[in-house]
Amino acid sequence: MEYLLDTPQAGMAIHELILEAHQDNLRDRRSAARYPFFRRVSIRSKSPIVAFSREISAVGVGLLHNAELTPGEVEVSIPSKRGYSIRVRTRIVWCQPCGEGWYISGGQFVGVASATA
């Protein structure tokens, strides 16, 4: 069912989505503060994967990508606005499909591999 944006039903439908997001946030038991961080990143696994970060914390990163990742260690290259990239060894903890060939995953930082210009 689709709703037109200017109807009361659309307002209720959007409110339901906000409630879902709030409930998901309440179930999240991570202790580290997370920050929205949408940026193109590269993942080096068996083959290179272009991905996007969704959020970042002191201990990990949320990712969006179009290839499934198996749990285990990868290298994530994150570009800085200062012109260099930081390569971080990251343990993929979970990966789940989010629709039409796209996946979201959560990675825990293991260590900085290097910073390159």
Q: How far is CA 90 from CA 12, 17, 46, 72, 117, in A?
A: 40, 31, 14, 8, 20
Average pLDDT, the chain: 84
Mean pLDDT confidence for 56-65 = 94
Nearest partner of 87 among 32, 48, 54, 34, judged by Cα: 48
Judge whether 70 and 91 are in contact, CB under 8 Å.
no
pLDDT of residue 3: 44
Name which residue leads in pLDDT, 31 or 39.
Answer: 39
Token pair recorded at residue 72: 């285990």
Distance CA 16, CA 14 (A): 5
In percent, the amount of the chain with pLDDT more than 70 equals: 76
110-115: average pLDDT: 72
- pLDDT band at residue 42 using 50, 70 and 90 as cut-offs: very high
